[in-house]
C-alpha cells in the first residue's frame, strides 16, 4: 500500500478534499494508496478533527518549540518517515521547508499554490493578481523544490477575475477549484511513484 502523509496548518479543506476523493474513488483498491497520516504544526488546526473522524492517524509538531527550521524539519521527518510515504502532500502547511527536508522527499513532495504559477509565488496572491489587473487567476499543484513555488507543475485550474472582485471573493472561487485539482493531481501522480 502506498502511504500518503498530508501536512496542514489550519482548516484542512484541501486535505479533506483529498481524503473524500480517495474514499469515493476507492484509491486503496484502484491505486493501492491511502492517506495514512495527517500532521499539523498547530494543535488547534481544525483539519485534525476531520482526519481523526475518518480514522486517520494524526500528530502535532509545534514549530515554535524549535530554535531553527532545520531542527523542526528533522523532527518532522522523524514523524513522517515511519509511514514510509510514497507521497508527502502539503495542504495549507504554512511553513517554508529547508532544502534538506525537500531533498529527503525529492520527487515525492507536492504543494498547492493559489495562483497560476510562475505568476505570484509567495503570499497575498489574490490581492497581487487584482492589483496587477489580471483577467484570470487560478491555482497550481506542483512538485516542491528548494526554490519556493517553482517546482514542476502537475496541474492548474483557471478562474476568471470578475468585476468587483475582492481578494476574498476571488480566493473563495479559487478554493473551489483547489478541491477539484489537488485530488486529481495526487491520483495522477501515484501510479508513477
DSSP SS3 for 2: strand
Of the residues 113, 126, 142, 179, only one is catalytic, namely 113
Give pTM, 2 decimals. 0.97
CA distance 171 to 165: 9
State the pLDDT at residue 45.
97
Q: Kindly list the domain boundaries of the chain, sorted by start residue.
A: 2-192
Q: Model confidence over 137-174: pLDDT tens digits?
A: 999 999 999 998 999 999 999 999 999 999 999 999 99
Q: Which CATH class is domain 2-192?
A: alpha beta
Strand-pairing partners, residue 89, are 6, 110
Q: Is 104 a catalytic residue?
A: no
Give the separation between CA 50 and CA 157, rounded to whole angstroms.
26
Amino acid at each position: 500500500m502506498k502511504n500518503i502523509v498530508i501536512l496542514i496548518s489550519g482548516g484542512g479543506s484541501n486535505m479533506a478534499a483529498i481524503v473524500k476523493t480517495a474514499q469515493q474513488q476507492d484509491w486503496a483498491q484502484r491505486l493501492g494508496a491511502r492517506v495514512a497520516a495527517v500532521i499539523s504544526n498547530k494543535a488547534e488546526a481544525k483539519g485534525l478533527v476531520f482526519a481523526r473522524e475518518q480514522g486517520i492517524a494524526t500528530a502535532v509538531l509545534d514549530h515554535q518549540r524549535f530554535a531553527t527550521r532545520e531542527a523542526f524539519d528533522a523532527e518532522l521527518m522523524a514523524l513522517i518517515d515511519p509511514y514510509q510515504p510514497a507521497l508527502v502532500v502539503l495542504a495549507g502547511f504554512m511553513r517554508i521547508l529547508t532544502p534538506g527536508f525537500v531533498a529527503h522527499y525529492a520527487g515525492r513532495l507536492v504543494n498547492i499554490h493559489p495562483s497560476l504559477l510562475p505568476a505570484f509565488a509567495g503570499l497575498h496572491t489574490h490581492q497581487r493578481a487584482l492589483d496587477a489587473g489580471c483577467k484570470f487567476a487560478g491555482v497550481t499543484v506542483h512538485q516542491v523544490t528548494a526554490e519556493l513555488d517553482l517546482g514542476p507543475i502537475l496541474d492548474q485550474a483557471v478562474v476568471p477575475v470578475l468585476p468587483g472582485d475582492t481578494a476574498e471573493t476571488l480566493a473563495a472561487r479559487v478554493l473551489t477549484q483547489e478541491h477539484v485539482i489537488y485530488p486529481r493531481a495526487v491520483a495522477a501522480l501515484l501510479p508513477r511513484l
